Structures are given as C-alpha cells and as structure tokens.
Amino acid sequence: MPNRVPSSIRQAFTVTKFELLNYVRSRRFIIMLGIGIIVGALLTLLVGHYRPSGFLASSIDFYSSWWGISATYIVILSGIFFGGDAISGEFQNKTGYFIVGNPIRRSSIYAGKWLAAFVASFIVLIVFLGITVLNNFYYFGLNLPYQFLESFLFTLLYLISVLGLTFFFSSLFKSSSVAILTTVVLMLFAFSLIQELIDAFVHVEPWFLITYGAGIIGNILTVPYPSHILTTHFGHVVVTSYAVTVPEGIAILVAYFAVTVILGLVLFERKEFN
Amino acid sequence: MQQSIEAVNLTKKYGSFVALSGLNLKFEGAKCVGFLGPNGAGKTTTLKLFTDMIRPSAGHALINGIDVHENKRDALSSCTALIETPEIYPSLTPAEALSMIAEIRGVSSNERNIRIEESLNEVKMLEWKDKKVGKFSKGMKQRVNIASVLISDPSIIMLDEPTTGLDPRGMSEVREIVKSLKRKNRLIFMSSHLLNEVTDVCDEVAMIDHGKLLVYDSILNVIQKFSENGSNIIEVGFSRAIDENIMEKIGKLENVKATSKIDETNLRMEILGDIKVQEALFYELANMKIGVISFKPSSSALESTYLNMIKETL
Ligand SMILES: Nc1ncnc2c1ncn2[C@@H]1O[C@H](COP(=O)(O)OP(=O)(O)OP(=O)(O)O)[C@@H](O)[C@H]1O
Ligand SMILES: [Mg+2]
C-alpha cells in the first residue's frame, strides 16, 4: 500500500526537527549558545566590578545600556550562525541531493530550515534575556518595565527580519563562504557605515536600512523616546541623526522580512541542482 | 494502474548547449530498464529532470502520468530516486537520516523503525545504524543512500549509477536488490556504465548519446538489430561439464551459426534470428535434457553493440 505524503506544513516541521538535531549534533548550537552566555557573563562581571553609573541609574537605564546595545549583536550573530549557509550549504555540500528528490516542495524545505534557525536563535536570545533580567533583579529587585517587554518583542521582530535576510543571501549564492561573508560585511560594517555617512553628508532619513529599523530596540528603552531628528554642529560640520520611530521601525523590519523571504524563496525555487 | 515513466519531448539546454534533445520515451509495468550512454551523454540530466532537480527547457517528465515539474508531490509520491552521490548531514546517523526521509514520505510511525532496519539490512549497514555518517567511507555512504530509496517501499525506482564506489560484493548485492525489486513488480530505471550489470539485471535498454535517444528495446533485440551481421550472441549455462557430443548437437540446431566453449559449463552460441527464434531455441535446448540452467544474451555482445552504436554517432 502506498504511503500518503504528509501535508506540506507537516513536512516543513519534519525538516525543522532534523535541522535542529543537526545543529545540536554539529555543535553549532552549543557554540552560539556559548557566545551568548560568555557575552552575558562578561557584562555581569564588568558591571559588577566597575558599577558604571549609566547602567545603575535606574532599572530602565540598566536595560537600555545592557540589552539596547548587545541584543542586536546576538541577533546578527545568530542570523549568521544559523542562516548564513542554510541554503547554499545544501548545494555546496550536496546534502540537498538527499532530500530534494522526494515529494516535498522546495518551499517546505526553506520554511522548515528557516523555522529551525529561528527556534535555535530564539533559545539563545531567551538565555541571554535570562542573564539580563537576573542582573537587573540583583540591582533593582523585581522590576520589569513594560518598555523592556516591548524592546524584547522588537528584538524578536529584528531576528525574524535578519533571518529573512541571511536566508536570502544563502539562497542567492551557491558558495557558503560568499553568502556568510556578504552577511557579515553588510550587517556588521556596511550598514552602519552607510548610516553614518548619510548622517554626516546627505541628511536624509536612512529608512532603507534594516539596522536603522532595529534602532527601535534601543530607542524604546530611552525615556523619553529620543526626538526623531537631531542636528548637532561640530564647528562647520552639521550632523543630522535620525532616531527611528516605533511605527517606522516596525514597518522597516516587516518590509525587510517580507521582501527577502519572497526573493529568497523565488531564488531557491529556480535554482538547479547541478 | 500500471506504474509508468514517460518523457515527452523532454529537452534541457544550458545556454546554447543542448544536454538533452527532445527525448520521447515511455516504459510501464514491472521491469528494469537500463540507461546507457557515454560520459556526458545526458543520463544524469534526464534523471534530474524526472525528480525536478532541474527544470526542462521544453517538454515534460511524467511519472504515472503526472508532470513532475508541475506537481512534484503527487508525481514522486511512490517514486524514489538516487541521483549521483548525495551527502547526508555528517552528524546524523543512518537511522536518523532514513527516519527523516521516511517521515517526509509519510511512512507511518509504527512502521518506520521496521522499515529502517529492513532497508539497512538489505544494504548490509545494520550494524552502523547508530554511528555518525560523517566518518563513513564513500561506499558505506552510498549504501545508506541506496537504503534511502528502499525505505518507503516505492513502486518506481530511478538509480543513477547506483554501484559507484561500491566494492565487488556491494555491486553484486545491489544487483540482487534490483532483482528482488523486479520480483516485487517494481519499475526500475537505472543508468550504468557496467554492461555486465545491465545484462544481468535489466530487461530492456535505452541508449543515448549527445542528448539524443539512439535506441530503446529489449536487450536481445538491441543486440540483434545492431550487431554487425545481424547475429546474436547467447550464453548458455549447464549444470555439468559440456561434452563434445552436446556441442555438436547444438551446433546442428536451426539458426545456430556457431558455438564455442567459454569454460567447462558455459557455452557461447551465435544465432541468427529475432526473439521468436530465441524462444524456440530455448525450448529446444530445454527439451534436449542436457542440463541447461541459464540462457541469456552475452554481456560482451551488449558491449560490442554499444561500441558500434556510439561509434556511429561520433
Ligand atoms: N550546469 C550545467 N551547465 C552546463 N552544462 C552542463 C551542466 N550540467 C550538465 N551539463 C552538460 O550536459 C551534458 C550531459 O551531462 P550528464 O551529467 O547528463 O551526463 P551523463 O550521461 O550523466 O554522464 P556520466 O556518464 O559522465 O555521468 C554534459 O555535456 C555536461 O557537460
Ligand atoms: Mg551521470
């Protein structure tokens, strides 16, 4: 009797399950989790030892200095770790050949792998969140300002968006190292460089940068919320810096996700295994 | 419904290079079709088109009448394929890798473990079930790949040089697997460079070169049609040593042009005539009660036919 092929959604979950198993087995997950824990531990030690006033002025200042700065890096690193070679690796290592010849849509493979990357990154973020909250508890007692909750949700949105982008690059390039390098250069250097150049010389709002959209993670923790446009004079040089507003930030992150996911999927559907 | 594989004007171009040119081919039922052709002929290209790994430039690849590119899930639901040599995530075990395929293909969870053990046992990898694939040798990985096409008990199986990297015993084990699949009424489409393998397990052959189909017919007919003088070489095996008496008797049979001994118990027989003649000869030989136990076209005959055909298209 022939087997009935499960629904595309169930197949995607199957892919997720084995992808997660592979993360754990290949130590990729442990390494990323370790990075999250080390960053958390270093911050704990530094803040405990030097007691910087920026951190300890108030509970919300603490979250702003701690989470507002480091969370985006955890997100970017997770994106690179779990998404950087997700699709390109299937071609380069020929592991894709093992699965594509089966009655499964490529979109199920893409979605399943994406979900696995999200779950793995989410766990890392939760652990880092735990370290953050425990430290805050130590200095301020039980204190969870609603802004922090919002900031965490924005971080998750940023994660979704970053994974969309890394999957897109991994789908665009056949070589894993090129895909990873492109993501690293863009996310860690190029975007922030472009933003600074724009601030200094062009004076337009960099609404097209994902990193600008991610500004809401830190901005929401600044009370009061920073003003949208800030002009500073350095002698003759005028620097106009923009602080992204919450609706703008959400729109940028959602748009990045939507566009990259669609493009990444189209590329993967069209790519040939040869 | 009979299981079927069908190519309709199937074409694949890479830029201006035509890797496969208007292939029309259909087989159905329970048999093994060998797919022959020199390096770069377009065999792997054809099989990739049948699994939607690449898109056709024109035409259709149909499995059980369903277009693979338009409806991959239905087309491949009871068809498995092993194309080139896929890699398995190195940190997974064969049991896990096969479990993933079984789940994707909808093998029910209570059957899954039994199926995994059975297919690993068929390829003699059961004792490696829970070891990581990353440390396996090339041949061991290929054995697991073969197990992966057996796991869901498919009715159609496509194999692209399945014995690549296997030791002689592994090759003969794969041949036995293919034969047993035939007994279970499966349709098998298998590319190979090993003509003795093809003669041994296949009933029919399709030959291609430069992306074009040269011939598709039963092995016997192909050899006969394309051998240099219209004759056909048959190897006859005996249960006991062949004596001169028997040689002489066979030599005098109608349509037998020449006979020669291969070894003590095997005889090469050059015959004239089509499949009907062969049928009649086989009947006569069996009736002579001289200990005939096998009757098959010679693999060297297929080889010389093959070489003739390829030469013609150069
Ligand atoms: N991605 C590609 N781009 C350009 N040409 C290609 C591509 N893939 C295959 N080809 C060409 O298509 C032709 C057919 O290749 P194919 O792999 O189907 O041959 P084959 O019959 O399987 O050969 P072999 O016996 O060596 O496995 C070859 O000439 C090859 O160079
Ligand atoms: Mg090939």
Q: Note the pLDDT tens digit of each residue in B149-165.
A: 999 999 999 999 999 88
* Prediction pTM value: 0.89
Which of B80, B100, B145 lies at the smallest CB-CB distance from A18? B100
- pLDDT band, residue A223 (cuts 50/70/90): confident
DSSP result, B207-224:
EEETTEEEEEEEHHHHHH
Q: Pocket of ligand 1, candidates B11, B17, B190: which has the most ligand atoms within 8 Å of its Cβ, to mutate? A: B17
Residue B9 CA neighbour count, 13 Å, CB half:
3
Q: Is residue A86 part of a domain?
A: yes
User: What is the model's pLDDT at position B306?
Assistant: 83
A6: which DSSP letter?
P
Please list, in sequence order, all residues whose beta carbon lies within 8 angstroms of the beta carbon of residue A70, skipping any fewer than 6 positions away. Answer: A39, A43, A128
Q: Write out the residue range of the structural domain in which residue A138 sits.
A: 8-188+254-270
Of A169 and B296, the one with more pLDDT: A169
**Rounded distance from Cα A264 to ligand 2 centre (Å):** 29
Residue A250 belongs to what H/E stretch? helix A246-270
In a domain, residue A224? The reply is no
Q: Which two tokens stand for residue B237?
A: 């095996």
pLDDT tier at A5 (50, 70, 90 boundaries)? very high
Of the CA atoms within 13 Å of residue B194, those in its CB half-sphere come to: 18
- On whether residue A138 sits in a domain, the answer given is yes
Q: Which of the 8 DSSP states describes residue A231? A: E
Q: State the average pLDDT over residues A163-189.
A: 92
User: Mind telling me how many Å the CA of A100 is from chain B's nearest CA?
Assistant: 7
CB A237 within 8 A of CB A75: no
User: Which of B201, B179, B190 has its CA nearest to residue B297?
Assistant: B201
Q: Is B155 helix (H, G, I), strand (E, B) or coil?
A: coil
Closest Cα to residue B297, out of B247, B250, B232?
A: B232
Confirm if A196 and A190 have CB atoms less than 8 A apart.
no
The per-residue pLDDT for B229 is 62
In a domain, A48, yes or no: yes
Q: Which tokens in the block code for residue B49?
A: 């088109």
CA–CA dist A256, A247 (Å, integer): 14
The answer to whether position A206 is within a domain reads: no
Kindly report the backbone phi and psi dihedral angles of residue A103, in degrees, each rounded to the nearest multiple of 5, phi listed first: -75, 70
Q: Which two tokens stand for residue B304?
A: 């010389």
Atom of ligand 1 nearest to the CA of B41: 21
Q: Which helix (H) or strand (E) holds A155?
A: helix A146-172
Q: What is the pLDDT of residues A177-204, one digit of tens each?
A: 999 999 899 988 898 899 888 887 888 8
Going from N- to C-terminal start, the domains of chain B cover 4-219, 227-313
Q: Does residue A140 surpass a pLDDT of 70?
A: yes
Counted domains in chain A: 1
CB of A135 closer than 8 Å to CB of A61: no
pLDDT of A10 strictly over 80: yes
Between β-strands B79-82 and B156-160, what pairing exists: parallel, antiparallel or unpaired?
parallel
Q: Are B157 and B145 in contact (CB under 8 A)?
A: no
Q: Which residues line ligand 1 (CB under 6 A)?
A: A 274; B 14, 17, 19, 37, 39-45
| A224 preceded by a cis bond (ω within 30 of 0) | yes
Rounded Cα distance, B119 and B98, in Å: 9
Tell me, what's the pLDDT at B244? Answer: 87
**Domain annotation covers residue A92:** yes
pLDDT score at A57: 87
Q: Count Cβ neighbours within 10 Å for each residue of B201-238 and write b for 16 or more, e otherwise.
A: bbbbbbbbbbbbbbebbbbbbbbbebbeeebbbbbbbb
Which of B88, B91, B106 is closest, CB to CB, to A98?
B88
For chain A, the residue count is 274
Q: Which atom of ligand 1 is nearest to the CA of B161?
A: 27
Cβ atoms within 10 Å of B252's Cβ, excluding its own: 9
A110, two tokens: 């893409």
Angle at B96 between CA A83 and CA B143, to 5 degrees: 110
Asked if residue B80 lies in contact with residue B177, where contact means CB atoms within 8 angstroms, the answer is no
For residue A242, being part of any structural domain is answered with no
For the domain bounded by B227-313, which CATH number is listed? 3.30.70.1560
Cβ contact, residue pair A25, B54, below 8 Å: no
> Environment class of residue B39 by beta-carbon count within 10 Å: exposed (0-12), middle (13-18) or buried (19+)?
exposed
CB A34 within 8 A of CB A78: no
Mutate to test the interface with B, among A28, A29, A98 (most CBs of B within 10 A): A98
CA of B39 from ligand 1 middle (Å) equals 8
Residues 6+ apart with CB under 8 A from B293: B237, B238, B239
User: With contact defined as beta carbons under 8 Å apart, do B10 and B22 qualify?
Assistant: yes
Helix axes B94-104, A8-25, angle to 10 degrees: 170
Comparing CA positions, the residue from B161, B224, B222, B242 lying closest to residue B194 is B161
Residue from the list B55, B83, B153 with its beta carbon closest to the beta carbon of A101: B83
Alpha helices in chain B (DSSP H): 43-49, 72-75, 94-104, 109-122, 138-150, 168-183, 195-201, 219-226, 244-251, 275-287, 299-313
Q: How many CB atoms lie within 10 A of CB A190?
A: 14
> Which whole number is the average pLDDT over A268-272?
93
Any domain includes A226: no
| pLDDT grade for A88, boundaries at 50, 70 and 90 | very high
Topology (CATH) of B4-219: Rossmann fold (3.40.50)
Distance separating alpha carbons of residues A119 and A15, to the nearest angstrom = 13
* pLDDT < 70 stretches in chain B: 1, 226-230, 312-314
